[in-house]
């Protein structure tokens, strides 16, 4: 894991400007697709408000809904497990595989397992995990984490994917035709689906009323894995619950329109009970969520349905890349979720934003993302994770700005502001000057002009 912070990683990403342009345009295209899709739904803002209120209700009654879900799922023949943290989650999954003597598993997209670093853990135990989502398979073969929660390999150009496939799957060198590469991946994955006895999937929505869960994919890979395997393990964060099945009518309309601009995912698969002879397990994972739930200012970040609309609209994400966030869930939402998991490690992330607010506007469940970024900044500084130099600078600045006489020290050259504001200090050490010229300094301030002309 990288020790560099977001600013340093983003700086490295920006060394290749044409690539930044390509990354920005690729993701902006997804934002535009989202816009086209949502403007066809006149009741869009009502849907967002409704989804937000349903999720608020879930968060306020989470323990009841969890118990109801466990009860219903158990009646359906699903085996329910509870994991307090990532470690326990990983051990539960490993224990199930071990019990069945399974050493190979297929896995469809699950950001929770990324959060828990399940693949690394299982690899250490000698379990071979194949990610079956095409984008996830690409980054897995490349030995990288996903850079985006919906589009895991969005940072890779098709030529680079061609090279990865050439190296790992034996496709011809130099072939970067998406259709050809997809076909090669399909053949490669089909063999995995047919030979794996265990399949792990994520969960998009778990319905308390019925004990069923819904998995959304565009490739059908969750279904291929789950239907062919003797044991299906579904892992979910405890916030994924919705009270009633009919609420899917709200969330499924919001999810993919926000994510990719599609009206609905190609597959929205409902799993309610194991087929005869199959074992079906659900692992309910807390991993810091109940701590977040207890934080008044941050609890509603748990409304997130992982659509990544905030990634695609974020002008910073588009120009810094997912890996600059050095966390499983990048982007604006990751920047308000990650500090809860490890404040010291992720102290930089709430500052990786201009607070422009576009994230909060595209969020289908109306999380006040940019306000929470501001609030995390206050918490991080108060908890002592601000760099010392910054602390000193802020104290000085505050002292000057609280004392008009110091601020107004006479004479253009002597004015404190001119000597200290970053955009007025003309030297090579000043980051403002690296890519920007300084403003011209006027003869007099407005205050001085006013004194001469009005009083």
Partner 1 sequence: MRVGLFIPCYVDQLYPQVGIATLHLLEKYGCEVDYPADQTCCGQPMANSGFEHLTQGCNDLFIKNFSDYDYIVCPSGSCTLHIKEHLHGSHGEGDADPATSVRKKIYELVEFLTDVLKVESIEASFPHKVGLHQSCHGQRGLKLAQMTELVAPPFSKPEKLLKMVKGIELIDLTRKDECCGFGGTFCVAEEAVSVKMGKDRVADHVHHGAEYITGADMSCLMHLEGILRRQKSSIRVKHIAEILDSKG
Determine if 297 is a binding residue for partner 1 (CB under 8 A). Answer: no
Question: Which positions from 64 through 93 interact with partner 1, judged by CB under 8 A?
Answer: none
CB of 6 within 8 A of CB of 326? yes
- Dist CA 207 CA 103 (whole Å): 31
CB of 119 within 8 A of CB of 133? no
Helix ranges restricted to H, 61-199: 62-75, 86-99, 111-115, 118-124, 134-142, 158-169, 178-195
Binding piece for partner 1, criterion CB under 8 A, among 57-65, 191-199, 272-280, 396-404:
396-404
- Compare residues 42 and 174 and give the one whose CB is closer to partner 1: 42
Q: Which of 2, 60, 266, 354 binds partner 1 (CB under 8 A)?
A: 354
Nearest distance from residue 83's CB to partner 1, in Å? 33
Q: Which of 264, 342, 401, 409 binds partner 1 (CB under 8 A)?
A: 401
- Compare residues 119 and 260 and give the one whose CB is closer to partner 1: 260
Site string for partner 1, 299-328 (x = CB under 8 A): --------------x-xx--xx--------
What are 35's two structure tokens? 């816009």
Binding piece for partner 1, criterion CB under 8 A, among 17-25, 98-106, 159-167, 196-204:
17-25
CB of 356 within 8 A of CB of 373? no
Binding piece for partner 1, criterion CB under 8 A, among 6-14, 127-135, 155-163, 206-214:
6-14
Q: Which of 11, 144, 230, 297 binds partner 1 (CB under 8 A)?
A: 11
Determine if 26 is a binding residue for partner 1 (CB under 8 A). Answer: no
- Dist CA 436 CA 4 (whole Å): 25
- Compare residues 63 and 396 and give the one whose CB is closer to partner 1: 396
What are 306's two structure tokens? 């992982």
CA 194 to mean position of chain CA atoms: 31
Determine if 6 is a binding residue for partner 1 (CB under 8 A). Answer: yes
Q: Which of 89, 306, 366, 415 binds partner 1 (CB under 8 A)?
A: 415
Distances (CA, A) of 349 to 6, 72, 346, 366: 7, 39, 6, 20
Site string for partner 1, 28-67 (x = CB under 8 A): x------x--xx-xx-xx----------------------
Determine if 421 is a binding residue for partner 1 (CB under 8 A). Answer: yes
Binding piece for partner 1, criterion CB under 8 A, among 54-62, 76-84, 106-114, 376-384:
376-384
Q: Which of 74, 394, 409, 426 binds partner 1 (CB under 8 A)?
A: 394
- Compare residues 42 and 101 and give the one whose CB is closer to partner 1: 42
> SS3 of 413, please?
coil
Determine if 418 is a binding residue for partner 1 (CB under 8 A). Answer: yes
Q: Which of 16, 17, 120, 177 binds partner 1 (CB under 8 A)?
A: 17
DSSP characters for 42-83?
TTHHHHHHHHHHHHHHHHHTHHHHHHHHHHHHHHTTPEEEEE
CB of 201 within 8 A of CB of 107? yes
Site string for partner 1, 238-267 (x = CB under 8 A): ------------------------------
DSSP characters for 316-352?
HHHHH-GGGG-SSS-HHHHHHHHHHH-TTTTTTGGGS
What are 118's two structure tokens? 């399940």
Determine if 404 is a binding residue for partner 1 (CB under 8 A). Answer: yes
Binding piece for partner 1, criterion CB under 8 A, among 244-252, 266-274, 291-299, 347-355:
347-355
Determine if 201 is a binding residue for partner 1 (CB under 8 A). Answer: no
Q: Which of 3, 296, 434, 452 binds partner 1 (CB under 8 A)?
A: 434
> SS3 of 282, please?
strand
- Dist CA 203 CA 292 (whole Å): 20
Helix ranges restricted to H, 196-329: 221-228, 248-259, 289-293, 309-313, 315-320
> SS3 of 393, please?
helix
Determine if 7 is a binding residue for partner 1 (CB under 8 A). Answer: yes
């Amino acid at each position: 894991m990288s020790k560099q912070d977001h600013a340093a990683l983003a700086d490295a990403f920006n060394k290749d400007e044409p690539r930044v342009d390509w990354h920005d345009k690729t993701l902006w295209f997804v934002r535009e697709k989202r816009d086209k899709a949502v403007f066809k739904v006149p009741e869009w803002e009502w849907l967002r408000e409704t989804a937000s209120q349903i999720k608020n209700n879930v968060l306020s009654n989470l323990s009841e809904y969890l118990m109801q879900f466990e009860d219903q799922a158990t009646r359906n023949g699903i085996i329910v497990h509870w994991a307090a943290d990532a470690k326990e989650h990983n051990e539960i999954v490993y224990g199930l595989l071990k019990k069945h003597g399974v050493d190979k598993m297929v896995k469809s997209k699950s950001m929770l397992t990324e959060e828990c670093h399940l693949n690394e853990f299982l690899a250490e135990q000698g379990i071979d995990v194949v990610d079956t989502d095409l984008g996830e398979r690409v980054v897995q073969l490349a030995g990288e984490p996903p850079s985006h929660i919906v589009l895991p390999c969005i940072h890779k150009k098709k030529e680079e994917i061609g090279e990865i496939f050439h190296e790992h799957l034996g496709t011809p060198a130099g072939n970067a035709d998406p259709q050809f590469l997809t076909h090669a991946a399909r053949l490669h994955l089909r063999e995995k689906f047919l030979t794996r006895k265990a399949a792990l999937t994520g969960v998009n929505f778990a319905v308390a009323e019925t004990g069923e869960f819904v998995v959304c994919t565009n490739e059908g890979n969750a279904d291929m894995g789950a239907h062919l395997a003797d044991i299906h393990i579904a892992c979910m964060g405890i916030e994924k619950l919705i009270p009633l099945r009919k609420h899917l009518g709200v969330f499924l309309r919001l999810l993919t329109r926000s994510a990719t601009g599609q009206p609905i995912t190609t597959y929205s698969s409902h799993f309610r009970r194991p087929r005869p002879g199959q074992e079906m397990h659900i692992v309910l994972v807390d991993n810091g969520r109940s701590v977040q739930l207890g934080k008044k200012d941050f609890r509603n970040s748990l409304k997130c349905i992982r659509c990544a609309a905030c990634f695609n609209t974020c002008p910073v994400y588009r120009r810094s890349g997912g890996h600059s966030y050095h966390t499983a869930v990048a982007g604006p939402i990751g920047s308000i979720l990650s500090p809860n998991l490890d404040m010291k490690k992720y102290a930089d992330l709430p500052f990786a934003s201009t607070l422009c607010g576009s994230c909060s506007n595209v969020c289908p469940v109306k999380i006040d993302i940019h306000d929470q970024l501001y609030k995390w900044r206050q918490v991080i500084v108060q908890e002592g994770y601000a760099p010392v130099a910054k602390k000193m600078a802020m104290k000085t600045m505050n002292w000057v700005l609280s004392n008009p006489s110091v601020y107004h020290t006479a004479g253009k050259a002597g004015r404190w502001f001119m000597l200290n504001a970053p955009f007025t200090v003309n030297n090579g050490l000043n980051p403002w000057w690296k890519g920007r010229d300084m403003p011209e300094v006027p003869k007099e301030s407005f205050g001085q002009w006013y004194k001469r002309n009005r009083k």
